[in-house]
């Protein structure tokens, strides 16, 4: 289980202190801050502090504010009269607390069956054209693709979405592939999710084998160099994810 620590960020000091007391009563250590953007940017590049979930409270609801929070790896929570009712289950999800008082509503058997029938793949890549191309190709096999466009956004998406597999670019803003891979493999909620790394990095005209060894030692399932051979990539993905369209005879690959 990860350390029971969270950071609460808001410029309303009275609200932060009130929430801090309630959170600490659940046995969770609380770090408070009042300058959210600066704090999140610092945490994103500090390996010791980076695993701490950051929850940013704000009265703003515009898309630019929400997007900025996500880019910095923070969870956006709009301030309202029921802020605790929405914060409480989020704490349980982030910290995997056993206490029923802070756990989200359990997933029903029907919901679990649906999740296993339709695999969910997370693609983390700052090039929207590449992730869109992967999404279009995988959609034909009955796979649901979620996209994130920088490292930290992808990390938090993995925690929230619990994908069947993760496709992660290497060179990205807000956290390169090896850093995000290390974080995913060190968190109990994501450590067993297979991660396939994509990169355009080469040594001359050949694959960077030293980088490949580094990533495999960190726990990557596979390492691919761009431009991507989609058939080879799909074959690797099938080792980790069951595609509904393939099992239903709606798609056949030319190799096993």
Burial environment of residue 221 by CB neighbours within 10 A (0 to 12, 13 to 18, 19 or more): middle
Greater pLDDT, 132 or 81: 132
In degrees rounded to 5, what are phi and psi of residue 123?
Answer: -110, 120
Q: Which CATH class is domain 109-247?
A: alpha beta
Of 195, 255, 199, nearest to 227 (Cα)?
A: 199
In degrees rounded to 5, what are phi and psi of residue 243?
Answer: -90, 125
| pTM of the model as a whole | 0.58
pLDDT beyond 90 at 145: yes
Contact, 118 vs 138, CB < 8 A?
Answer: no
Q: What is the mean pLDDT of residues 122-149?
A: 92
pLDDT beyond 70 at 168: yes
* Residues 84-129: tens digit of each pLDDT: 888 887 787 666 643 433 343 444 434 444 445 789 999 999 999 9
* pLDDT band with cut points at 50, 70 and 90 for residue 169: very high
Q: What is the pLDDT at residue 212?
A: 87
Residue 129, preceding bond cis, omega within 30 degrees? no
**Which range among 8-12, 62-66, 143-147 shows the weakest confidence by mean pLDDT?**
62-66
pLDDT beyond 90 at 222: yes
Average of per-residue pLDDT values in the chain: 77
Sequence ranges of the domains in the chain: 5-95, 109-247
* Residues 187-197: tens digit of each pLDDT: 878 889 999 99
**Do the domains at 5-95 and 109-247 have one common CATH topology?**
yes
In degrees rounded to 5, what are phi and psi of residue 54?
Answer: -115, 125
- Write the CATH number of the domain with boundaries 5-95: 3.40.50.2300
Q: Give the end-to-end CA distance of the chain in Å, rounded to a whole number.
A: 38
């Amino acid at each position: 289980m990860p350390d029971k620590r969270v950071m609460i960020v808001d410029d309303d000091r009275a609200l932060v202190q009130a929430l801090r007391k309630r959170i600490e009563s659940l046995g969770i250590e609380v770090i408070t801050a009042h300058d959210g953007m600066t704090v999140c940017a610092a945490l994103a590049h500090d390996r010791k502090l980076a695993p701490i979930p950051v929850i940013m409270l704000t009265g703003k609801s515009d898309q630019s504010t929400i997007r900025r929070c996500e880019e910095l790896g923070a969870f956006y929570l709009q301030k309202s009269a029921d802020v605790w009712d929405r914060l409480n289950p989020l704490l349980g999800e982030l910290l995997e607390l056993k206490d029923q008082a802070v756990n989200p509503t359990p997933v029903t058997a029907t919901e679990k069956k649906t999740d296993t029938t339709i695999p969910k793949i997370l693609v983390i890549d700052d090039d929207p054209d590449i992730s869109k191309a992967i999404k279009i190709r995988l959609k034909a096999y009955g796979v649901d693709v979620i996209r994130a466009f920088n490292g930290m956004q992808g990390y938090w998406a993995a925690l929230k979405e619990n994908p069947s597999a993760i496709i992660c670019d290497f060179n990205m803003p807000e956290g390169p592939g090896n850093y995000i891979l290390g974080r995913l493999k060190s968190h109990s909620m994501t450590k067993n999710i297979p991660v396939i790394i994509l990169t355009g990095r080469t040594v001359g005209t050949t694959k960077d084998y030293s980088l490949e060894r580094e990533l495999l030692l960190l726990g990557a399932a596979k390492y691919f160099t761009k431009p991507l051979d989609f058939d080879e990539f799909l074959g690797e993905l099938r080792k980790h994810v069951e595609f509904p369209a393939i099992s239903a005879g709606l798609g056949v690959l030319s190799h096993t």
